[in-house]
A and B are shown apart, each in its own frame.
Chain A
Amino acid sequence: MKFKSSLENYAFILPAILIFSIFYIYPFIQVLFLSFFDWDGIVSFKDATFLGWGNFKEIIFDDPIWWQAMRNAGYITFIALIFQNILAFLLAWACDRQIRMKNFYRLIFFIPPVLSEIVVGIAWRFIINDVEGANIINRMFAAMGHPNFIHSWLSDPKTALTTVAIVHCWKGFGWGFLIFLAGLQTIPRELYEAARVDGANAWESFKKITVPLMIPVTVLVAILTVLGSMQAFVLILGLVGGEFAGHTSVPVLRILSSMRGSSRFGYACAQGISFGMVLVIISFIQYRFSKKVTE
């Protein structure tokens, strides 16, 4: 009976396992396999050279551009974690209170995530750039009386990455906003009422009620932000046209460059695997952290 029951239970996961094994596991194993070879992806695989750990060694010791790309991705992620999520939280909190126009804002704030990255890149490049664009940001600064803020945001290597990071935040805060809002809405109003009756002011009730109950959601958003921001790249192509002498290199662009430009397919696979490992480690650390905090 138990055996039959187990068999029955397997039937539920069978379609998922089937598709997963065929379309994910199998290609994954092949990519893993290929990462140990020096292969250009075109010639017959017989002509590929076995490198053992060669590709991985090169990534770790001999590829300063890769680590610059990782650092850049980390920088974008850092900005996203701080700027994007604080903004999302503030907006969610604001919308949680205000009943009027809440649906309007909910719709508007979700437009950036829905727009394709191509449009976002072109549109923002046009908005920011002074030479071929509308130079709106600089004009705004001038109009607000801060002409010393005028700058070639995207053309200056020192500010390009930060500008990209901010546009990335603009595109992504909609998700955080949605999740935070949902989280805030599940906090029962009675708690706030009870706190007010007890004489707590707005700040105290925020500190003692909102923050603790929102910690799991916050950690969740953090995990998602990290995973999403580390892999950003389409925006960079639209805003600064490429890797800008390394200033806006990111891991995904490096992998694509290995695949296309250098025709080092094996190396690209190795880069992909290394990148994946880093992401897994970071995610699991964050996940463990979140479990600890919620307990």
Chain B
Amino acid sequence: MRIKKITFNLLIHLLLISVAITCLYPLLWMVSASFKTQGTIFKDISLIPQQLHFDNYLFAWQKGGFGRNFLNSIFYTTSVVFGIVIIASLASYAFSRLRFPGRSLLFLVFITAMMVPVPGSFVPLYVLLNKLHLRNTPLGYILCMINVGLSTSIFLFKTFFDKMPKELEDAARIDGCSKMGIWWHVMLPLSKPVLAVVVVFNALTVWNEYILALIIFDSRKFMPLQVALQVFQGEFVTNYPLLMAGLTITALPVILVYFLMQKYIVKGVTSGAVFFILLSLNVFVIL
């Protein structure tokens, strides 16, 4: 009996480890490729490069626009996440707790929007931004990206709020809290798990986005990191080691954000139609 249990546990560990290896291998390949040269990157198949070319990272940093564009990406990501958290949670609070005519209909519209990808919408969007004099401005891009993650975030928040017990809000209301106050002091702080989810996924989306940025911005000084990285995917020559170095640097902040937020995510995410994030992540790619 004990032997059965031990073998069972062993098998489980085997499964976990083998999956972990397949997860790690491409990441390790990317990192190891970033230390190789254009000549050896596809010839040398071992994970440990024969020569470590640390200067790839230096070049990638300089040519990949990591100074200005890196800051841009951080700026856009924080602004968009900040904007979405505020706007979506406000709206979701209303959808969840407040009464007003057209509530269900409006919510339904948001949900459907989540599911219908609109490829080609970048042209009308571009013309619109132009008319609003928001083209080639950070504000224009940020507003567009807020919209991109809005439906899903609203859905997430609302589902979460629906499950929260009303007693706390009632208590706060009795204490004289306004609706706004309830939102700020009660709903938001208690929604740490879904907040973490919204932060991670919107951050991931904005951080990896590049097509919309390329179309909206004309000047290099506004471009986010992903657009700047394209410089390594030349028309004829792809500088793979530099590209890998650039992508490695790019992946790090996201992994960091995930690392910081993940304990909240797992603690709180439960049933009730959460993550249309998978959808939104793929939707944004099409834009």
Kindly provide the distance from the CB of B163 to the nearest chain A CB, expressed in whole angstroms: 11
Looking at the complex, which of B60-68, B69-77, B139-147 is the stretch in contact with chain A?
A: B139-147
Please determine whether A98 and B12 come into contact, CB atoms closer than 8 angstroms: yes
Interface residues on chain B, number (Cβ under 8 Å):
84
Report chain A residues within 8 Å CB of B258.
Answer: 107, 110, 114
Interface residues of A: mostly helix, strand, loop or mixed? helix
Question: Which of A41, A179, A181, A275 interacts with B274 by CB under 8 Å?
Answer: A179
Interface residues on chain A, number (Cβ under 8 Å):
96
A228 and B278 in contact (CB under 8 A), knowing A182-B265, A183-B271?
yes
Kindly provide the distance from the CB of A65 to the nearest chain B CB, expressed in whole angstroms: 17
Q: How far is the CA of A40 from the CA of B95 in the complex (A)?
A: 41
A127 and B26 in contact (CB under 8 A), knowing A13-B95, A186-B270, A216-B272?
yes
Please determine whether B120 and A269 come into contact, CB atoms closer than 8 angstroms: yes
Please determine whether B128 and A16 come into contact, CB atoms closer than 8 angstroms: no
Kindly provide the distance from the CB of A6 to the nearest chain B CB, expressed in whole angstroms: 5
Q: Number of A-B pairs whose CB atoms are under 8 Å?
A: 248
A290: CB under 8 A from chain B? yes
Report chain A residues within 8 Å CB of B250.
Answer: 116
Report chain B residues within 8 Å CB of A89.
Answer: none
Please determine whether B91 and A15 come into contact, CB atoms closer than 8 angstroms: yes
Kindly provide the distance from the CB of A202 to the nearest chain B CB, expressed in whole angstroms: 9
A90: CB under 8 A from chain B? yes
Report chain B residues within 8 Å CB of A41.
Answer: 123
Please determine whether A107 and B259 come into contact, CB atoms closer than 8 angstroms: yes
**Which residue on B lies nearest to A114, using beta carbons?**
B254
Question: Which of A34, A114, A132, A225 interacts with B204 by CB under 8 Å?
Answer: A114
Q: How far is the CA of A231 from the CA of B106 in the complex (A)?
A: 26
Chain A residues at the B interface, C-beta cutoff of 8 Å = 5-6, 8-10, 12-13, 15-17, 19-20, 22-24, 26-28, 30-31, 34, 41, 87, 90-91, 94-95, 97-98, 101, 104-112, 114-120, 122-124, 126-127, 132-134, 136, 170, 172, 174-175, 178-179, 181-183, 185-186, 216-217, 220, 223-225, 227-228, 231-234, 252, 255-256, 259, 265, 268-269, 271-272, 275-277, 279-280, 283, 287, 290, 294
Chain B residues at the A interface, C-beta cutoff of 8 Å = 12-13, 15-16, 19-20, 22-27, 29-30, 42, 45, 86-88, 90-91, 93-95, 98-101, 106, 110, 112-113, 115-121, 123-125, 128, 143-144, 146-147, 150-151, 154, 179, 183, 204, 208, 240, 244, 247, 250-251, 254-255, 258-259, 262, 265-279, 281-283, 285-286
- A98-B16, A122-B240 provided; 19 other pairs, C-beta below 8 A? A12-B94, A12-B98, A27-B121, A31-B118, A94-B16, A107-B259, A114-B204, A117-B285, A124-B26, A133-B42, A175-B278, A182-B270, A220-B271, A225-B278, A227-B115, A228-B281, A232-B282, A233-B286, A259-B120
